[in-house]
Chain A
Amino acid sequence: MSDVWIVVAVVGVFTWFLKAAGPVFLGRRALAPRLQPVVALLAPVMLAALVTTQTFGGDGEVTVDARLPGVAAAALAIWRGAPVVAAMVIAAVVTGAVRLLG
């Protein structure tokens, strides 16, 4: 089995259990109150890490290239209330244009 299929299978099974955790395993019991703020921070933390690697990541080094102006333009658009699709198009167009000119 290739690496890709192993990831598909393992992530799939883990996700089934995570989604079913409440209805199937916990019933009406709640998550430990102390852990709730930690779990709540997981999504923004993971997404921030993904933004960082997707913007600056390279072959084992931090690189500043055409992606940065694209992501910066998208950040401005998101902050001004642009929908997700518009932000993605802006990032792609700006980065593509900088690469074309550079």
Chain B
Amino acid sequence: MTAEQSPPARLRDGVRAALPLVLGPVFFGISFGVFAEAAGFSAAAAVTMSATTFAGSAQFAAASVLHAGGTLAAAIAAAVFLNARYAAMSVTVASIVPGGRLRRLLGSQLLVDESWALSGRSGRFQWPILAGAGLLLYVLWVSSTALGTVVGGLLEDPNALGLDAAFAALFLALAFPYLRERRALQAAALAAAITLVLTPVSPAGVPIVAASSACLLGLRR
């Protein structure tokens, strides 16, 4: 199918494209609300983070480091490193985000893994798909986080239910699509090894940041 044959995509096409995916972000958002509560976030802080950062795994990473008693710098670095991929993704859609500088700054905030992947499905990136999918996911993400803070407040000890293992499973599920590629699998294994070695000898959060150096395997030919 060529671009000429298909009608131009509209915002509503983007919303529709994202509909089959909504369960994941909703559950993920509720989980973040619960987890943030356990990590010492107020409900307002958790919802504000979802509204301003809008990047699930990085939000979990920051909360996870704080939860483990890590330093501010380690929590920030873990989240920022995890979001570094957005710089690369944003470059791929640089030419499709419309408007002046301010509108482009705001519009580019709708970039998340899912909206990015959906918008490029046709072989070239389409702004209405990215914007429609991004808007739907944004509304769901922020509101489900709010719901999660309410649920989290009701739980006595979320870890007793095995929620700590559930978050490990979540990170694993997010990592899995990358691991089909050999280089990514090697880098991930190296990162896990660095984390294990440093955990007993360094403050919480530091092993995660140090493990990010495993991505330098990408420099190897």
Question: Which residues of A are in contact with B by a Cβ distance under 8 Å?
Answer: 3-8, 10-12, 14-16, 18-24, 26-31, 34, 36-57, 59-62, 66-67, 70-71, 74-75, 78-79, 83-85, 87-97, 99
Contacts and interface: CB of A to CB of B under 8 A. Distances in A.
B88 A23 contact: no
A50 to B, nearest CB: 4
A85 B170 CA distance: 8
A39 B84 contact: yes
Interface residues of B, number: 99
B204 interface: yes
B189 to A, nearest CB: 7
Contacts of B82: 42-43, 46-47
Interface of B: 23-24, 27-28, 31, 40-42, 45, 48-49, 52-55, 57-62, 64, 66, 68-69, 72, 75-76, 78-95, 97, 101, 104-105, 107-109, 111, 160-176, 178-179, 183-185, 187-192, 194-196, 199-200, 203-204, 207-208, 211-212, 214-219
Given A20-B105, A49-B208, A67 B87 contact: no
- By CB atoms of chain B within 10 A, which of A5, A23, A93 has the most? A23
Given A11-B58, A57-B199, A66-B162, 16 more contacts: A8-B52, A19-B108, A21-B87, A22-B93, A22-B94, A23-B90, A23-B94, A37-B219, A38-B215, A46-B208, A49-B192, A55-B165, A61-B199, A70-B169, A84-B173, A87-B169
A45 B211 contact: yes
Residue with the greatest number of chain B CB neighbours at <10 A, chosen from A8, A18, A30, A93: A8
Given A18-B86, A60-B199, A84-B24, A51 B49 contact: no
9 contacts: A3-B75, A7-B75, A8-B53, A21-B91, A28-B94, A38-B215, A43-B82, A52-B207, A62-B199
